[in-house]
């Protein structure tokens, strides 16, 4: 007779096989797995129940952790909707545009359109829900490559998005408009449907974006086939930022968010002080804050680092070949010290007159290398692990925001440094530089520490003192980052940084 361990191993092997077919396992009852294995995995914590008869893969000990659900969210929506409606369903035009535009926030509610919908609300985990709307489908269904979601095509989504979407989700709408290289597809749908009011709205939207050619093409064609079109600008605000056509929607989202957020930073953050310290004077003050900075920055990340250990590392009394070699906290503390020294060198270059964005772009790879090089020395990481940005997807525990996919990171980081280089206000560089760094999350680990280093490099460029985020304010700090990521509201985060910088 098989032992309990052997039975569990058998169930895990079945789950493992299912995971080969999909990045996230979503199970509908016992169609893919027997009741015995399902119950065993559920009781052991390898599955979680989303709703009666529906399960997602998990890990023991993560019960109550929203990350498991948020990382499975869109996979669940696709599987559940397909189970309910076969392939006769689609996300709304608005939610399709959100996905096209690189918006990575999990929505509180997803609306699925289907001719077989029941106008029924289904409550899901952690306050999220799904509403199946009885409605017609678009003429063509686009399948999302990663999640398997049924979506509107980009052109039809722009046509059928509600007028309020262009104001409530202005950034997403502008990004999607910038992705249209040829309006002939839009014109064909408008002419087939006789949608004169929608034609006027899109003509106005394109003109607001500075795309006069697209606006006139829509108006002239509709006129030729006998429609009277009244042009209407759905944005009601002028376009300030020209979006490059060769960048990903994720990179263009950064540009528009930067433009939107920078005025808030200027209004909330106190005025820039005069730079009165020499390089040596400034770095002396930075050195005096090292012990406090290391303790709080590492504690925010969940490491249990004592001030005695930090002092031991700084003094050079660190013995990697003895008791500390396998001690992760000691390796982290040593890496932080080495990275801190590299950041100081960058700060010196900035105070001496180097462009702050350019200096950090050149040096941030060295910061990261120094942060993790003790793990290489201890044979816990390979040197190649520290080369370049991450190549896999990461998630932030408990956050509705999903960091950018690895394919979008290079574009996004180039855009971030371009924004830093061209931003004249050090307050904006500091607050938005930190925020966007962690928003992108370019590395598998260490992004928070790197973001705070970047914050201080940019503060130094404006004469502000080295600023420490205390671990006692971690909850408030993380909530402010979440609000900026999910709601595109940087005000709380700016207030925190401004208050701490003025101490």
Q: What is the CATH number of the domain that holds 311?
A: 1.10.3290.10
Q: How far apart are CA 485 and CA 464, in angstroms?
A: 25
Overall domain count for the chain: 3
**Residue 324 pLDDT:** 47
Burial 347-362, CB ≥16 within 10 A → b, else e:
bbbbbeebebbebbbe
pLDDT-based confidence at residue 142 (cuts at 50, 70, 90): very high
pLDDT tens digits, residue range 392-413? 999 998 899 999 999 999 999 9
Q: How far apart are CA 251 and CA 246, in angstroms?
A: 10
pLDDT tens digits, residue range 464-490? 999 999 999 999 999 999 999 999 999
Inform me whether the pLDDT recorded for 12 exceeds 90. no
Dihedral angle at the C-alpha atoms of 114, 115, 116, 121, nearest 10 degrees?
50
The reply to whether 74 falls in a domain is no
**Residue 317 pLDDT:** 66
Whether residue 391 contacts residue 352, with contact meaning beta carbons closer than 8 Å, is answered with no
Q: How far apart are CA 362 and CA 356, in angstroms?
A: 10
The reply to whether 446 falls in a domain is yes
Are 123 and 154 within one domain?
Answer: yes
Q: CA nearest 297: which of 447, 186, 441?
A: 447
Q: Which residues contact 326 (CB under 8 A, 6 or more apart)?
A: 378
**Residue 247 pLDDT:** 85
Q: Is 222 helix (H, G, I), strand (E, B) or coil?
A: helix
**Residue 273 pLDDT:** 65
The reply to whether 234 falls in a domain is no
Are 354 and 271 within one domain?
Answer: yes
Inform me whether the pLDDT recorded for 318 exceeds 70. no
Are 217 and 258 within one domain?
Answer: no
Are 134 and 186 within one domain?
Answer: yes
CA distances from 398 to 24, 54, 146, 325 (A): 17, 21, 22, 32
Q: State what percent of residues in the chain have pLDDT above 70.
A: 95
Q: Is 28 helix (H, G, I), strand (E, B) or coil?
A: strand
Are 176 and 264 within one domain?
Answer: no
Q: Which residues contact 27 (CB under 8 A, 6 or more apart)?
A: 18, 33, 38, 47, 54, 55, 56
The reply to whether 365 falls in a domain is yes
Q: Is 389 left (phi over 0), alpha (psi -120 to 50) or beta?
A: beta
Note down the domain range covering 53: 4-63
What value, to the nearest 5°, has the Cα angle with vertex 359 and ends 354 and 362? 145
pLDDT-based confidence at residue 61 (cuts at 50, 70, 90): confident
Are 174 and 130 within one domain?
Answer: yes
**Residue 106 pLDDT:** 94
Q: Residue 131 corresponds to which tokens in the numbers above?
A: 């509403």
H/E element, 57: strand 54-57
Mean pLDDT value across the chain: 91
Whether residue 171 contacts residue 257, with contact meaning beta carbons closer than 8 Å, is answered with yes
- Domain boundary, last residue among 189, 224, 259: 224
Instruction: Please state the φ and ψ torsions of residue 76, each to the nearest 5 degrees.
Output: -65, -45
Segment 237-241 mean pLDDT:
82
Whether residue 172 contacts residue 250, with contact meaning beta carbons closer than 8 Å, is answered with no
- Domain boundary, last residue among 207, 224, 241: 224
The reply to whether 173 falls in a domain is yes
Are 367 and 441 within one domain?
Answer: yes
HSE, CB side, 13 Å, CA atoms: give it for residue 136. Answer: 4
Residue with tokens 């039809």: 156
Q: Is 109 helix (H, G, I), strand (E, B) or coil?
A: strand
Inform me whether the pLDDT recorded for 322 exceeds 60. no
The reply to whether 68 falls in a domain is no
pLDDT tens digits, residue range 94-127? 999 999 999 999 999 999 999 999 999 999 999 9
Inform me whether the pLDDT recorded for 220 exceeds 50. yes
The reply to whether 198 falls in a domain is yes
The reply to whether 218 falls in a domain is yes
Are 220 and 285 within one domain?
Answer: no
**Number of CB atoms found within 10 A of residue 487's CB:** 12
Are 217 and 288 within one domain?
Answer: no
Instruction: Please state the φ and ψ torsions of residue 109, each to the nearest 5 degrees.
Output: -135, 135
Are 16 and 116 within one domain?
Answer: no
Inform me whether the pLDDT recorded for 325 exceeds 70. no
Long-range pairs for 479-486: beta carbons < 8 A, 24 or more residues apart: 481/435, 481/438, 482/399, 482/400, 482/401, 484/261, 484/435, 484/439, 485/105, 485/399, 485/400, 485/401, 485/439, 486/105, 486/399, 486/400, 486/401
Instruction: Please state the φ and ψ torsions of residue 223, each to the nearest 5 degrees.
Output: -65, -40
Q: Is 101 helix (H, G, I), strand (E, B) or coil?
A: coil
Q: Is 141 helix (H, G, I), strand (E, B) or coil?
A: strand
Are 32 and 137 within one domain?
Answer: no
Segment 278-297 mean pLDDT:
94
pTM of the model: 0.91
**Residue 326 pLDDT:** 46
Inform me whether the pLDDT recorded for 437 exceeds 70. yes
Burial class (CB in 10 A: 0-12, 13-18, 19+), 192: exposed
Are 303 and 339 within one domain?
Answer: yes
């Amino acid at each position: 007779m098989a032992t309990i361990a052997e039975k569990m191993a058998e169930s895990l092997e079945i789950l493992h096989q299912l995971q080969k077919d999909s990045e996230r396992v979503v199970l509908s009852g016992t169609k893919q797995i027997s009741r015995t294995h399902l119950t065993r995995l559920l009781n052991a914590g390898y599955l979680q129940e989303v709703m009666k008869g529906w399960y997602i893969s998990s890990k023991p000990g993560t019960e109550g952790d929203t990350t498991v659900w948020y990382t499975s969210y869109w996979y669940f929506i696709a599987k559940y909707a397909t189970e309910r409606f076969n392939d006769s369903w689609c996300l709304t035009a608005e939610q399709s545009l959100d996905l096209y535009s690189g918006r990575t926030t999990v929505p509180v509610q997803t609306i699925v359109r289907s001719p077989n919908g029941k106008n029924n609300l289904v409550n899901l985990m952690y306050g999220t829900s799904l509403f199946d709307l009885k409605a017609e489908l678009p003429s063509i269904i686009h399948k999302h490559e990663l999640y398997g979601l049924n979506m509107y095509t980009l052109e039809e989504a722009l046509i059928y998005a509600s007028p309020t979407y262009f104001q409530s989700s202005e950034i997403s709408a502008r990004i999607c408009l910038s992705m249209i290289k040829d309006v002939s597809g839009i014109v064909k749908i408008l002419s087939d449907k006789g949608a004169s009011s929608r034609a006027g709205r899109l003509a106005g939207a394109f003109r607001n974006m500075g795309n006069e050619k697209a606006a006139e093409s829509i108006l002239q064609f509709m006129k030729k086939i006998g429609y009277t079109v009244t042009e209407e600008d759905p944005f009601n605000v002028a376009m300030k930022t020209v979006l490059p056509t060769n960048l990903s929607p994720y990179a263009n989202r950064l540009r528009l968010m930067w433009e939107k957020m920078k005025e808030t930073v200027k209004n909330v953050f106190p005025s820039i002080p005069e730079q009165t310290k020499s390089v040596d004077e400034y770095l002396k003050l930075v050195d005096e804050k090292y012990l406090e900075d290391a303790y709080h920055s590492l504690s925010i990340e969940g490491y249990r680092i004592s001030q005695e250990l930090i002092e031991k590392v700084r003094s050079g009394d660190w013995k990697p070949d003895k008791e500390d070699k396998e001690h992760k906290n000691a390796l982290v503390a040593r890496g932080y010290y080495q990275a801190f020294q590299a950041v100081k060198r960058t700060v010196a270059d900035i105070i001496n007159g180097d462009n702050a964005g350019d200096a950090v772009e050149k040096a941030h790879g060295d910061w990261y290398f120094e942060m993790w090089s003790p793990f290489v020395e201890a044979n816990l990481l390979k040197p190649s692990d520290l080369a370049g940005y991450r190549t896999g997807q990461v998630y932030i525990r408990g956050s509705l925001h999903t960091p950018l996919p690895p394919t979008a990171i290079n574009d996004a980081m180039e855009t971030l440094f371009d924004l830093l280089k061209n931003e004249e206000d050090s307050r904006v560089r500091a607050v938005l530089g930190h925020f966007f760094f962690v928003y992108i999350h370019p590395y598998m680990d260490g992004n928070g520490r790197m973001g705070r280093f970047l914050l201080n490099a940019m503060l130094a460029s404006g004469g502000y003192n080295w600023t420490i985020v205390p671990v006692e304010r971690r909850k408030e700090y993380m909530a402010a980052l979440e609000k900026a990521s999910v709601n595109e509201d940087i005000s709380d985060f700016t207030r925190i940084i401004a208050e701490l910088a003025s101490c």
